[in-house]
Amino acid sequence: MPATTPHAENLRRAASMRLGLEGYIRILARLRNKGMSTDQVAIAFALNHNTATKLLRYMHKLKLVHREAWFQPKPHSRHLPIWRLGSNGDVSMPQYEGKAHRPPNPMLILLATTIECIKEFPLTVIELADELAMHKETAARIITLMRQHKLSHIRSWTRVSNGLPVAQHGYLGTRDAARPPRPQITPEDRRRWRNTLEDKRRHVQLIAATAGATA
């Protein structure tokens, strides 16, 4: 069996590490733990240098990452940034840096907007979807991936109309807020729910009977 070439290995890794939403979150999670150069990000996530450069500049423009330091790979060479999660502590560039001409990927913009929202105050998945006018499943996927990579935590809980607790999510953090106990169900609650269910059943039967009579 022929030996795997470095190029073939990079292609294999790239196929298994497609970016998209989860890829963006994985990069941010890695930059939370330590600063990385553009080349280090490119190698870790099987990207070419130009793609990594543009992506990190977009993330910087959206205030997802900052440049915590600059270094010279060789004496008298151009200074290059070390990237880190967050917008605080950005170090000004020592030299001119070219601009990315194309706009960022819409999903990256949505991720940045989500982070900006839950930085300010904790939100439930439904509240986040309403705030950003996106589908509930999209909001749930973003929060789920952020939690998997420790970029989000449950900051607090709120109760919905039926009294059940619903998680409100914040940015970063280390420990979820304790889930409050479920509300006590009283006999009056059970009686009211049974009556509501019975009313709905009669309504459905009435619609079915009406439809049969007009067929």
Task: Examine the pLDDT at 5 and tell me if it is beyond 70.
Answer: no
Task: Examine the pLDDT at 29 and tell me if it is beyond 90.
Answer: yes
Please tell me which of 101-115, 167-181, 188-202 the model is most confident about, judged by mean pLDDT: 167-181
Whole-structure pTM value = 0.67
| Angstrom distances, CA of residue 118 to CA of 18, 69, 155, 165 | 26, 27, 10, 19
Alpha-carbon distance of 14 to 140, in angstroms, equals 26
Whether the CB-CB separation of 10 and 16 falls below 8 Å is answered with: no
Which of 42-51, 73-82, 95-104 is the least confident region?
A: 95-104
